[in-house]
Amino acid sequence: MRDHDAETAMTIPLTPAGGPEPAAEPSFYEAIGGQATFVALVDRFYEGVVTDPLLRPIYPEAETDPTMPGARERLTMFLEQYWGGPKTYGQRRGHPRLRVRHAIFPVSPAARDAWLGHMRAAVDSLGLAPLHAEALWDYLERAAHSLVNTHDGGQAPMVGELLPDRMD
């Protein structure tokens, strides 16, 4: 056999001749309902935040517009992109840099816990399949813990100031 014939003989088509391509696995974003699900999650979450005396001060735009459309849009875009949806967040805002973007706000353990309480209620309100709810919750919980930057009652670090346990 010539080399070309040997290569051809060893090639196995992935689909039957003329058959459809195999269906791609849906992204997490698609599997849980896409944009409508993330909008519902964020809307439910902010319903709690706007009435929370500990969290509302962390959102300066709440003073001018208690519905916080900017915060809602940013969180929705971020979550959509993270979970395999549109890349709008990155196109508009660049890399998420969660710790840097939140460093100016005092995120204490109490604020983290309040945030998680509202987010838990929001996740639960979606009625997701248990594996999807667990995956989403796991990420949100880890993200919230990573943003703590002060003790309860403390001030956020000054811009550019490193916490001693975060120095590289």
Give the residue ranges of the annotated binding site for heme.
145
Q: Which residues contact 116 (CB under 8 A, 6 or more apart)?
A: 140, 141, 144
Q: Which two tokens stand for residue 93?
A: 């805002």
Q: Cβ(136)–Cβ(128) under 8 Å?
A: yes
* CB burial of residue 115 (10 Å; 0-12, 13-18, 19+): buried
Q: Locate tokens 């703590």: which residue? A: 148
Torsion of CA 148, 154, 160, 162, to 10 degrees: -60
Question: What is the rounded distance in angstroms from the CA atom of residue 82 to the CA atom of residue 87?
Answer: 8
Binding site, annotated residues: 145
